[in-house]
């Protein structure tokens, strides 16, 4: 057999099936070390796995017979992904970036019996979305490399997302509205069949929205980057948040090429190191970041990261889809609220705010902006949004 081989090292014998890239460049020969011996050396299967992560790459570099820079870059990427998993564990992140998989199907090795299919079902909807996103992004990246995106955004302007929220809050004394352009969601199904993103965006702007949030995920929210781009090119003045599930810096550049002024970073998905790094990239590109948290643990992690300007508190439990606005209150009480005030961070309320009472409730907890999607957004006639409280919001 031709190609590059990973030789049988004591702790190298298995590759994740999902990692097609790695296998493409490094076809694997089976380990000659019996399973029992590996168990004895390492003490447990998870340890076996952890040790393998690093050493497969090291072995690859030690034993490869190529000078192909592309192959080496792919190995490097693979290594970064493995470290991401370790970092995520350290930060207490339960969402896995991709399914844990067993050995390749054509590989007859000692590991297949015990590691294959271990936990290959997503634990919740967010994990499922992230797994899908991981595959989508790997394919998109191949078609539009980063250097092409960088070229496309040279000298293109961005709008001040944070400034727009602050101004609106100061002007109205009410939480600034980030109005969602969203056709569907896993929790609410299809919100509007005759969905016209530009008309909806215009209606929101007329009704007094400070910023817009445009869903770009296709599979779960029926959104698209085309919608984002179309809204940007339709003369809308409100700054735009690209509402996407970001797992890779490439997506940030892509969002910027499509007209985003801000992006969402989800703490339940991204380790602290990724969040810090992505915030820096965003600053460099002129983009704002909305960092979303669900619970105290995520809030505490995010509060020790430098450069955070906006924190979104999501009141939706992604396991049950239930919303509970008291989550916002809980996360803003005591010392956490104090740190947020000291750092002048704007808190954005997300999910579960449907009535004026909901707004008053979250505002009293310290929220200065909120995300809202009006399912009955009536933009055919008056260009006003049907929910009475939003219309009254416009006239405050």
- Summarize as ranges the residues that interact with ligand LARABZUK (CB under 6 A): 125-126, 129, 180, 182, 185-188, 314, 316, 318, 350-352, 371, 373
Cβ nearer to ligand LARABZUK, comparing 13 with 351: 351
185, burial (CB in 10 Å: exposed 0-12, middle 13-18, buried 19+): buried
| Integer Rg of the chain from CA | 23
Give strand pairing partners of 214: 181, 242
Q: State the SS3 of 167-230.
A: HHHHHHCCCEEEEEECCEECCCEECCCCCCHHHHHHHHHHCCCCEEEEECCCCCCCCCHHHHHH
Give burial (CB, 10 Å; 0-12/13-18/19+) of 334.
exposed
Torsion sign across C-alpha atoms 34, 40, 42, 45 = positive
CB of 334 to ligand LARABZUK, least distance (A): 24
Query: In the complex with ligand LARABZUK, which residue's Cβ is closer, 91 or 324?
Result: 324
Q: C-beta of 380: minimal distance to ligand LARABZUK in Å?
A: 22
Q: At what angle do helices 272-285 and 69-90 cross, to 10 degrees?
A: 120
Whichever of 66 and 187 has its CB closer to ligand LARABZUK, that residue is 187
Tell the smallest beta-carbon distance from residue 354 to ligand LARABZUK (Å).
8
Q: Which residue's C-beta sits nearest to ligand LARABZUK?
A: 187
Q: What is the DSSP letter of 374?
A: -
Shortest Cβ 45–ligand LARABZUK spacing (Å): 31
CB of 158 to ligand LARABZUK, least distance (A): 22
Nearer to ligand LARABZUK, 46 or 355 (CB): 355
Which of 15, 126 has the CB closer to ligand LARABZUK?
126
Looking at the Cβ atoms of 15 and 231, the one nearer to ligand LARABZUK is 231
> Least distance in Å: CB of 161 to ligand LARABZUK?
16
């Amino acid at each position: 057999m031709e190609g590059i081989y990973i030789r049988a090292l004591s702790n190298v014998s298995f590759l994740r099936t999902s990692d097609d890239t790695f296998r493409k460049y490094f076809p694997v020969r089976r380990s000659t070390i019996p399973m029992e011996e590996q168990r004895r050396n390492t003490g447990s299967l998870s340890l076996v796995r952890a040790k393998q992560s690093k050493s497969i790459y090291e072995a690859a570099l030690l034993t490869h017979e190529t000078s192909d820079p592309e192959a080496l870059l792919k190995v490097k990427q693979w290594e970064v992904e493995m470290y991401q998993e370790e970092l995520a564990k350290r930060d207490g992140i339960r969402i896995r970036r991709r399914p844990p998989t067993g050995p390749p199907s054509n590989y007859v090795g000692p590991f297949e019996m015990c590691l294959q299919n271990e936990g290959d079902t997503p634990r919740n909807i967010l994990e499922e979305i992230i797994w899908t996103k991981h595959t989508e992004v790997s394919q998109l990246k191949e078609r539009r490399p980063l250097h092409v995106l960088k070229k496309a955004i040279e000298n293109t302007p961005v709008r001040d997302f944070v400034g727009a929220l602050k101004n609106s809050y100061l002007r109205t004394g009410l939480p600034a509205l980030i109005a969602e352009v969203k056709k569907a969601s896993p929790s609410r199904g299809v919100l509007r069949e005759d969905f016209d993103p530009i008309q909806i965006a215009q209606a929101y702007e007329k009704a007094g929205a400070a910023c817009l949030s445009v869903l770009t995920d296709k599979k779960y929210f029926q959104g698209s980057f085309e919608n984002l781009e179309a809204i940007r090119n339709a003369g809308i003045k409100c700054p735009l948040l690209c509402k996407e599930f970001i797992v890779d810096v490439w997506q940030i550049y892509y969002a910027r090429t499509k007209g985003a002024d801000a992006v969402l970073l989800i703490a339940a998905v991204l380790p602290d190191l990724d969040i810090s790094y992505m915030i820096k990239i965003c600053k460099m590109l002129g983009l704002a970041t909305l960092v979303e948290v669900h619970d105290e643990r995520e809030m505490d992690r995010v509060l020790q990261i430098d450069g955070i300007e906006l924190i979104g508190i999501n009141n939706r439990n992604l396991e049950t889809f239930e919303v509970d606005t008291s989550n916002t209150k809980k996360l803003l009480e005591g010392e956490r609220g104090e740190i947020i005030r000291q750092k002048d961070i704007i808190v954005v309320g997300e999910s579960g705010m449907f009535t004026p009472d909901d707004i008053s409730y979250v505002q009293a907890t310290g929220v200065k902006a909120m995300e809202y999607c009006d399912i009955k957004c009536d933009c055919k006639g008056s260009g006003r949004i049907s929910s009475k409280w939003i219309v009254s919001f416009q006239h405050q």
